[in-house]
Each structure stands twice: as structure tokens, then as C-alpha cells.
Amino acid sequence: MFKLVPRAEPSRLASLLAPLVALALTLCLGVLLFVLLGKDPLRALEMFFWEPIKNLRAVGELSIKATPLLLIALGLSVCFRSNVWNIGAEGQFILGSVGASAVALAATPESSPLLLAGVLLAGVLGGMLWAALTAFLRDRFHANEILVSLMLVYVAEQLLSYLVHGPWKDPNGYNFPQTITFLEPTRVPRLVAGTRANWGLLTAPLGVLLLSVFLRRTHAGYKLEVGGLSPLAARYAGFSSQSALWTTLLLSGGLAGLAGALEVAGPVGQLTTQVPLGYGFAAIIVAFVGRLDPVGVTLSSVLMSMFYIGGEMSQSRLGLPKSITGVFQGLLLFSLLTCDTFVERRLRFTGFRRSAPRVP
């Protein structure tokens, strides 16, 4: 009755409408869910979409949540475009926080504020190092980067635990597994008084800008795009998939590491085993919902953060379970993937008859 037929060329309209429809679909399903749970749906929607932006402090909180998501998702979007499936951003985030802490712990109260730059750089390098492991194993041994990067997440968690329980443990901390609270010169300064937003927030738009320029205006960025869309064509044109592998992994590893460094030198202020919060995985959704495009990723990271914070609020204000956030995020992604189909294909109505008419 209906058939999906390929379009002659991808539909721009569908491409623009897809995220809109997906979000609307998710909202409808969400409202249905709230009603089924016996909660006031409008009040619930208020939790998710108004509370997180209603005043300056709320926006500050939103920025703290959105910045790491955005940074990691920027890197992942570059990876996924090039068909490099970096699932281990969480591990790179952890190594970033570890690298940053290594420098931060070396500080004294007289250290220059420039040390902060060293802290952040160390974070970037830490993330890059971890991603480089994945790149190396894929490059040299053809080991699947999905599985390697994922396994390395678990290894990173153990490394963090080791450091925080052992060599880096705060000697005055009654043996609790955490480092000292980092000294002032190594902390990211607050950006807006009365909120927790810090200067790290600025890395976000900077990252978006740089990446947009890289992807759209540089030769290297162009190579990555083509490589992802058609590996054969890329090879024909002489674009090496090996360099794509390394470039994308190092880039996303560095960005994830930066996010980890900002988290640990920013709102948290010390290294503990609780620093990794799953941003590396959430950023995967952010990247897809943002259509793997820097501007899209910016918007979707804000949206995702609203989901997170809203989910938290609705737990304490409405008694809604926290896991509802995960359900929403998953629904959004599914809806988007389904709607995306219609960019390349369209439905054609083929009449009511199922098969050719029988000859009597």
C-alpha cells in the first residue's frame, strides 16, 4: 500500500523539519507518560523547560551541565561523520580530569594563575593520550574502535580509583578516597557572581566556532566529511582513512579531556571517584540530536541539559522518577532517527491492490 522510495536528492525540507517533528513526537509521548503516571503534564513540562532557565542561577547551572556535553559532543560529531565510532569518550573525560589533577596537585599557594592554562592543557593531553590508544590499536591491529574505546572506559575508571585511593589521596582526609581541594590558582574563576558558571563556559562557543571553521573551510575538514560520506570516493581522491582516524580520535579525545579538566578544576575542585558522570555517553545522544553539526550540537546540548536538570527537579518537586530523563533522551533519539529516514526517502502510495490483478 505504501512504499518507501528513494528521493532523487535529499530533501532540504525534511532535513530541517526532522528534529522539530522528533522533538514534538517526544513531547507528545512525554505528556502521555506523565498522564499515565498521574502527574500534571503541564507542570512536568514546566519542570523540564522553564525551571532550568527561569533565573540567572538556573542558567548558570545549565551552563555547567551543557558545557562538558557540548565539548565532548563536538568531538564526537567529527568522529561519527568520519565513521569512526568513538564510544569511549567517558574514558577520555576521566583521563582529562586525571591529567588536569596531576598539574593542579603540583601547585603551591604562590603559583601563578597561569598554571590554570597548564592544568587545562594537561587535561587535553590526557584525553588525547587515551584516545590515541584506541587509534593505535585500530590502526595497527585493526581492532574495532567501538569495543576498544569502551573497554578503555572501564580501565580508566580503575585507574582513577587507584590514584585517588593511593598516591593522590589527601593525607589529611581521614583516608577518604579524594585528593585535596585544589588551590586557588588552579581553579577556574567564576564568570558570573551568584552562579556557578565559570570561565570554562567560554570554551564552548570558541570550540563551536573553531570547529565550524575547520569543517567548512579547511581542506582537512573537507577530507573528513568526504571520508565519512563515501570511503571509496575518499580513497579515490587520495584522502587517507588512517589520517582521518587519528585526527578525529585525537580531536575528540582532546575535547573530552578538556571537558574533564574543566569539571575537575571548576565546579568540583578536586579529584574523586565521583567525577565521571556519564557525560561521555550522554554526548553521543547530543551529537546525533545535533545532527553532527557544530551549531546543531550547541542547541542539542542545551536541550539535553534541560532534560537532565528538569529530570532532577521533577524528582524532588513532583515525585517523578529520575530515570525518566533517560527515557526521554532515548525517545528523542529514536524519533529523530525515524524522521531522518524521510530525508533520503519518501512514502509513495501505491494503490489499494496488493498484487497484480488475477486474470480470470
Partner 1 sequence: MNELALLIASAIASGTPLAIAALGLIINERAGVLNLGSEGLMLVAAIAGFATAVHSHNQALALLAGAGASALLCALLAGLLIWLQTNQYATGLALSLFGSGLSAFVGIGYTHENLGAHPVTGLPGLSRLPFLGPALFSQHPLVYFGMLLAAFSSWFFFRSKSGLLLRAVGESPEAAQALGYPVRWIRCAAVVAGGALIGLAGAYVSVVSTPLWVEGMIAGKGWIALALTTFATWRPARALLGAYLFGGVTMLQLHLQGRGVSVPVELLTALPYLSTILVLVLISRNPRFIAANMPASLGKPFHPGA
Partner 2 sequence: MNPISRSRCLVALLALSACSKKPSNEAAPSAASSALSTASAAPKEAGPLKVAFAYVGPVGDAGWTFAHDKARREAEAKLSGKVKSSFVENVPEAADAERVIRDMVDQGNTLIFGTTFGYMEPMLKVAADFKDVKFEHATGYKTAPNLRTYDSRTFEGAYLAGVVAGSMTKTKTLGVVASIPIPEVIRNIDSFTLGAQSMNPQVKTKVVWVNKWFDPPKEGEAAQALLDQGADVLMQNTDSSAVLQTAEKAGKMAFGWDSDMSKFGPSAHLASAIINWTPYYEKAMNDALAGTWKTEETWWGVKEGAVDLVSLSDKVPAATKTRLDDIKKGLKDGSFVIWKGPLKDQADKEILKAGEAFDVKALRGINFFVKGVEGKLPAAK
Judged by the rule CB under 8 A, the positions of this chain that interact with partner 1 are 4, 6, 80, 85, 87, 137, 140-144, 146-148, 150-152, 154-155, 158-159, 161-162, 165-166, 281, 284-285, 288, 321, 323-331, 333-334, 337-338, 340-341, 345
Binds partner 2 (CB under 8 A): choice among 177, 253, 257, 294? 177
Shortest distance (Å) from residue 88 CB to partner 2: 20
* Nearest-approach distance from CB 219 to partner 2, in angstroms: 27
Which helix (H) or strand (E) covers residue 346, if one does? strand 345-349
Rank residues 85 and 281 by Cβ distance to partner 2 and give the closer one.
281
Contact, 66 vs 59, CB < 8 A?
A: no
**Helices 219-229/56-81 angle, 10° precision:** 70
Q: Smallest distance, Å, CB 46 to partner 2?
A: 5
DSSP state of 178: B
**To which H or E segment does residue 310 belong?**
helix 294-318
Specify burial of residue 4 (Cβ count, 10 A radius: 0-12, 13-18, 19+): exposed
The grid coordinates of residue 28 equal: 507528545
Which 3 state secondary structure label does DSSP give 71? helix
> Nearest approach, Cβ of 333 to partner 2 (angstroms)?
14
6-24 b/e (C-beta count within 10 Å ≥ 16 → b): eeeeebeebeeebbeebbe
User: Minimum distance from CB of 166 to partner 1 (Å)?
Assistant: 8
Given candidates 136, 315, 343, 345, which one binds partner 2 under the rule CB under 8 A? Answer: 315
Binding site for partner 2 (CB under 8 A): 16-17, 19-20, 23-24, 27, 39-40, 42-43, 45-46, 49-50, 57, 61, 64, 161-162, 165-167, 169, 174-177, 181, 196, 263, 267-270, 272-275, 277, 295-296, 299-300, 303, 309, 312-313, 315-319, 322
